[in-house]
A and B are shown apart, each in its own frame.
Chain A
Amino acid sequence: KQEVTQIPAALSVPEGENLVLNCSFTDSAIYNLQWFRQDPGKGLTSLLLIQSSQREQTSGRLNASLDKSSGRSTLYIAASQPGDSATYLCAVTSGGGADGLTFGKGTHLIIQP
C-alpha cells in the first residue's frame, strides 16, 4: 500500500527566503506526482505535475524535482512571499487503471512579512 510522507509538518520563515518542502513515498512504481496548495477553507490548487519519466518541472518561482528510485520529491520555492502562506500537499498516482491520488498530510507554511 502506497504511503506518502511530508516533512516538515509545519514551517515558518521570513519573507524573501528560499525554501524546500520534502515528500517521500514508499512504492517507487508511480505514474506521476502532483503538488498542490490548499488555502484555509478552500479546495486544492494544482501547482505542478511531474510525470514518472520527468525529473523536474518549473512554474514561476516554483520548482519540483522527482527521484523515483529513491521515492522522493522536493518542492523549491524561491524568494518566498506572504501570499505563499498555505498548506502544500504532495500526491502520487500509480496509474495502471486506478488513477486516484494518494496524498501526504501536507506542510503548513507561514511566510512572515
Chain B
Amino acid sequence: EAGVAQSPRYKIIEKRQSVAFWCNPISGHATLYWYQQILGQGPKLLIQFQNNGVVDDSQLPKDRFSAERLKGVDSTLKIQPAKLEDSAVYLCASSLDRSGAGYEQYFGPGTRLTVT
C-alpha cells in the first residue's frame, strides 16, 4: 500500500515570496491533516479536512496561509507572503475514518521550508 506522498521535499524561498506544498493521501482515506513542525518541537495541527470540507482550521494563520482539498483527494497548502518564522517542516497526514482504529494517522515525509 502506497503511503502519503508530498512534494516538494525541500524548498528555499525569500521572505515575502509565496510557496505551495502538495499532498496525496493514502487511497481511500477520508481525513487529511496538515501539520507544521518547527525544529525541536512536536508537530502542530494547521488544518483538518474531512473529504472536501474543513473540520478544524483554528490554528491556521489565515492572513497568510490557505489550504484546499479538491475532490476529496489531493490537497495543497499555500503560504503568501512567507515570513522568516514560517521556516519549518510541513507534514501531511491522513486517516481512514473517524471511528476506532480508523483514527490512526499516517504521515508523509514532509516538506522542509527555509525562508531567508
Identify the A interface with B (CB < 8 A). Answer: 4, 31-32, 34, 36, 41-46, 49, 51, 89, 91, 93, 95, 97-106
Residue of B nearest to A93 (CB): B103
Residues of A within 8 A of B48 (CB): 98-100
Q: How many residues of B contact A (CB 8 A)?
A: 29
> Is B107 touching A99 in the complex (CB atoms < 8 A)?
no
> Is B41 touching A105 in the complex (CB atoms < 8 A)?
yes
A91-B106 Cα distance, complex, nearest whole Å: 13
Residues 98-116 (chain B) with a chain A CB within 8 angstroms: 98, 100-101, 103-110, 112
> Is A103 touching B43 in the complex (CB atoms < 8 A)?
yes
A41-B103 Cα distance, complex, nearest whole Å: 25
> Is A91 touching B42 in the complex (CB atoms < 8 A)?
yes
Known A44-B43, A49-B104; further 13 A-B contacts with Cβ < 8 A: A42-B110, A43-B110, A44-B91, A49-B101, A89-B43, A97-B55, A98-B55, A98-B56, A99-B48, A101-B33, A101-B45, A102-B45, A105-B40
Residues of B within 8 A of A41 (CB): 112
Residue of A nearest to B46 (CB): A100
With A43-B91, A44-B91 known to touch, is A101 a contact of B104 (CB < 8 Å)? Answer: no
A36-B105 Cα distance, complex, nearest whole Å: 10
> Is A46 touching B108 in the complex (CB atoms < 8 A)?
no
A51-B35 Cα distance, complex, nearest whole Å: 22
> Is A89 touching B42 in the complex (CB atoms < 8 A)?
yes
A17-B55 Cα distance, complex, nearest whole Å: 43
Q: How far is the CB of A42 from chain B (nearest CB, A)?
A: 6
Residues of A within 8 A of B101 (CB): 49, 51
Chain B 1-16 interface mask (CB, 8 Å, partner A; 1/0):
0001000000000000
Q: How far is the CB of A44 from chain B (nearest CB, A)?
A: 4
A51-B104 Cα distance, complex, nearest whole Å: 10
9 A-B pairs with least C-beta separation: A103-B42, A100-B45, A98-B56, A44-B107, A43-B107, A43-B109, A49-B104, A43-B110, A100-B48
Q: Can you sample 26 A-B contacts with CB below 8 Å?
A: A4-B42, A34-B104, A42-B110, A43-B91, A43-B108, A43-B110, A44-B93, A44-B107, A46-B105, A46-B107, A51-B100, A51-B103, A91-B43, A95-B103, A97-B55, A97-B56, A98-B48, A98-B55, A99-B56, A99-B103, A100-B35, A100-B56, A101-B35, A101-B43, A103-B42, A105-B40
